[in-house]
Structure 1
Amino acid sequence: MRDTLLFVGALIPLTVGADWLVRGAAALAQRFGVSPLVVGLTVVAFGTSAPELFVSGRAALAGEAAFAVANVMGSTAANVGLIVGIGALIRPIAVHHRVIARETPLVIVVLSLVMALSLNDVLGRLDGFVLLAGWALYLYFLLRWVRSGAGEEESRTSEPRPTDKDSGKGVNFWWSFLQIAIGMTMLAFGAEWLVEGAVGIARILELPDALVAASMAAVGTSLPELASTMVAAYRRMEDIAIGNVIGSNVFNLGLVLGTSALLRPLVLDPSIVVVYVLPALAFSVILIPLALHRGTVQRWEGGLLLALYLAYIAALFAFAPPA
């Protein structure tokens, strides 16, 4: 009963926290003249990736390597299949060509790197350092991209907002910052409660740890991204919607997985790569042609992504070995 209450009750801080985070991030983007796309790729992506960082880090320290890796890979697949799918069903998501040409291939490269580094059945501290260094380089080049003004040229929304005319005049900096801080705090607590409840329920059902991590825990820790993307899509903030998803995947693979491996080497069974890393790679690849088609992820394409993700989860449970 307690686990069910935790699971259901966590939806409130997750939803409210996501709304506050998106509102605060969008306001700061206007205040400082930074594009909402870049805010989605950085501030919002980091805030919504915090649950994955906490969960996978704790699992690594506890020696649960399969749980740590499966949670990251399950979240990566959920970000594309579940979140982009539902977001596009709410409202077709406009996608900048350069975002797909730059960020999505980066996710594919990092996933391929993870597969290469895990060929010896372990992600060691050196491997973790490589992943973290790659993530740091991503942030460096992203900041250079912003300084060059390219980010501003690419940032656009479906309809103009009144504050765009005065470049953020009248936006209260401290209130926006407080919104982001409160939103991130609510997201962290909400995700923790949801994951704790989900894992408790799964333990009762005697499911394998890796399966729990890639399905229930991954969806639980991805709910901040889902809530943020749904709010952004509904408010016609497509830049934040798609930037949040892609940025979260880069953060998950670089920051979260890299930090987990640095905390404690992750000894992996070869099946982990096949069952969890390859599907994450497949979802990242399939997003490219869908997004490039007319520069928009249409509703039917969102439905396709969601159907593929649900089929993937069903297959996991159907062929899962006993706990």
Structure 2
Amino acid sequence: MSFAHLIAFTAGLLLLYYGAGWLVRGSSTLARSLGLTPMVVGLTVVAFGTSTPELVVSMVSAFKGKSMIALGNVVGSNICNIALVLGLTAVFHPVTTGRVVITRDIPLMLVVSAYLLLLSFNSTIGRVEGLSLFVGILAYTWFNYKVALRVDRTMPGKAVLEARLPAGKIGLADKRWGQCLMIAGGTGAVVLGADLLVDAAVSIMTALGVDEKFVGLTVVAFGTSVPELATSVVAAMKKEMDISLGNLVGSNVFNLLSVVGATAMVRPIVIDGGFIGSGLVVDYLVMMAISALPLLLMKQDLTITRGKGLILLGCYVAYVIFLIVKD
């Protein structure tokens, strides 16, 4: 492993982080300038935009014949979002959510996870299976849109949704040409960043003698979750909780349906060594267990306290240690 590989990996992370930000800001301000309401923009443009790093990294990995990085990226990102991002955020400031997240959103995420588990048992996620996942994300977006139409603008859920939008038009985002430039630049940065990240990760993987599943579940997954992690921790430190468990759950659903679905539609995902033989089934089960953990922690008061946040962080650390020891 050379210093150049570390530089390339770091550059890839930075391009993913800033590129996703430019893409979301440019596309959301453009959509609003064209007359779309903040609610619609939040449910479509911003929701898809924040999943761009995972989507592009998974697609690039699949094209390079590194399917285990592609799938590991999604599974690892979902574990990271709940255990690391939510846990660390709660340590800085307790996170409270609405009951609908417990009664509807998390169970839906678990159902989608179980469906992906079933699709993976034959060790291949083909184009038709990918299409079924992608149809799922379209249905999920449509359902959320219909539900949001019935929610008054003053309701907390709506306020959280609109808080995710970039605040105010500043600089390039003030002009139509600037918005288009930000979209183009953000897209280019994310694509280039994903290419650098995957190539560097493969080189590091080879040098350290670890398999690509491990790299996808840990290093790459953490890298694509950096935007959510940075946003959540900064918001918590400022006590401006524009990130919520509902948003993280939504991000996980998008990862499972749109990222895996779109990647498989472009190029079927083949699980090297088999779903059981590769041990990926264990990672799926860990993802589902950690995804269900907030149901137990928030059953009484709908709040992730600092103590509960430490439990989530402990689960993430334990999982990473398990992966290191196993490999």
Residue in 2 that maps onto 1:164: none
One-letter identity of the residue aligned with 1:91: H
Residue in 2 that maps onto 1:54: 56
Q: Could you tell which deviates more after superposition, 115-124 or 184-193?
A: 184-193
Deviation by residue 1:174-220 (Cα, 9 ceiling, x = unmatched): 43994984777666655654454444322211110111111111111
Post-superposition shift, 1:47?
Answer: 2.2
One-letter identity of the residue aligned with 1:282: A
Residue in 2 that maps onto 1:208: 211
Distance 1:138 1:195, change over 3 A: same
Q: Would you say 1:232 and 2:235 are equivalent positions? A: yes
Q: Could you tell which deviates more after superposition, 188-197 or 78-87?
A: 188-197
Unaligned segments of structure 2, at least 5 residues: none
Deviation by residue 1:137-179 (Cα, 9 ceiling, x = unmatched): 0000011112112675233779xx9xxxxxx9x8679439949
Post-superposition shift, 1:48?
Answer: 2.6
Post-superposition shift, 1:311?
Answer: 0.7
Q: Would you say 1:291 and 2:298 are equivalent positions? A: yes
In structure 2, distance between residues paired with 1:296 and 1:15: 29
Distance 1:223 1:193, change over 3 A: farther
In structure 2, distance between residues paired with 1:50 and 1:145: 24
Aligned counterparts, 1:6-85, within 5 A = 6-9=8-11, 12=14, 34=38, 39=42, 42-85=44-87
Query: TM-score, structure 2 length as denominator?
Result: 0.79
In structure 1, distance between residues paired with 2:240 and 2:298: 16
Residue in 1 that maps onto 2:256: 253
Post-superposition shift, 1:270?
Answer: 2.2
Post-superposition shift, 1:261?
Answer: 1.4
Residue in 2 that maps onto 1:276: 283
One-letter identity of the residue aligned with 2:59: G
One-letter identity of the residue aligned with 1:227: A
In structure 1, distance between residues paired with 2:292 and 2:25: 30
One-letter identity of the residue aligned with 1:123: I
Query: Is the contact between residue 76 and residue 221 of structure 2 (CA under 8 Å) also seen in structure 1?
Result: yes
Normalized per residue, which structure has more helix? 1
In structure 1, distance between residues paired with 2:95 and 2:28: 17
Deviation by residue 1:115-134 (Cα, 9 ceiling, x = unmatched): 11222232121111111111
Post-superposition shift, 1:244?
Answer: 3.4
Q: Alpha carbon RMSD of aligned pairs, Å?
A: 3.5
Residue in 2 that maps onto 1:300: 307
Post-superposition shift, 1:25?
Answer: 9.8
Query: Is the contact between residue 57 and residue 70 of structure 2 (CA under 8 Å) also seen in structure 1?
Result: yes
Distance 1:18 1:124, change over 3 A: closer
- 1:270 aligned counterpart, secondary structure: coil
- 1:218 aligned counterpart, secondary structure: helix
In structure 1, distance between residues paired with 2:93 and 2:118: 37
Post-superposition shift, 1:106?
Answer: 1.4
In structure 2, distance between residues paired with 1:7 and 1:246: 27
- 1:155 aligned counterpart, secondary structure: helix
2:115 to 110, 113, 116: 113
In structure 1, distance between residues paired with 2:94 and 2:26: 23
Instruction: Name the count of aligned residue pairs.
Output: 308
Deviation by residue 1:49-73 (Cα, 9 ceiling, x = unmatched): 1111112112223333322211111
